[in-house]
Every structure is written in structure tokens, then in C-alpha cells.
Amino acid sequence: MRNPIKFIQEVKQEAFKVTWPTWKETLQGALMVFLMAVVMSLFFLLLDQVLKFFLELLLKVSL
């Protein structure tokens, strides 16, 4: 880094090029993340219950 002032100026120029999402886009993204978390938690709950059922069935047969 030869010239820190030039570096800071370039960082400032690049910062102005950033396009931030709108509130609507941010809200949509957050809702999608929340929805996917709920869907995946229900999926894993169902999978856990199915595996538990088969494990209990297997243990009863083997005894």
C-alpha cells in the first residue's frame, strides 16, 4: 500500500456503487428465511418421528 489517501478515496468511490436492497426486498428475504426454517423444522420433526417408530418396532421384534 503506497498511498493510504488514494486507497481511502477508492474505497469511498466503491461504497457509492453499492446498491442496498429496499425495505420490501429485505422483508421478503426475511420472510422466506423464516418460512424455510419452519418447513425444514417440520420435515425433520416428521423424519424423527418416523425413524423413532421404526426403531421402536425393531427393538420390540428383537427382544
Q: pLDDT tens digit string along 14-36?
A: 998 999 899 999 999 999 999 99
Q: Is the pTM of this model over 0.75?
A: no
The rounded distance, in Å, linking the Cα atoms of 28 and 21 is 10
- DSSP conformational letter for 3: -
pLDDT band, residue 2 (cuts 50/70/90): confident
Please give the pLDDT value at position 1: 57
pLDDT for the residue 61 = 83
At 25 the pLDDT is 97
Q: What is the band of 3 on the pLDDT scale with cuts at 50, 70, 90? A: confident
- Note whether 1 and 7 are within 8 A (CB): yes
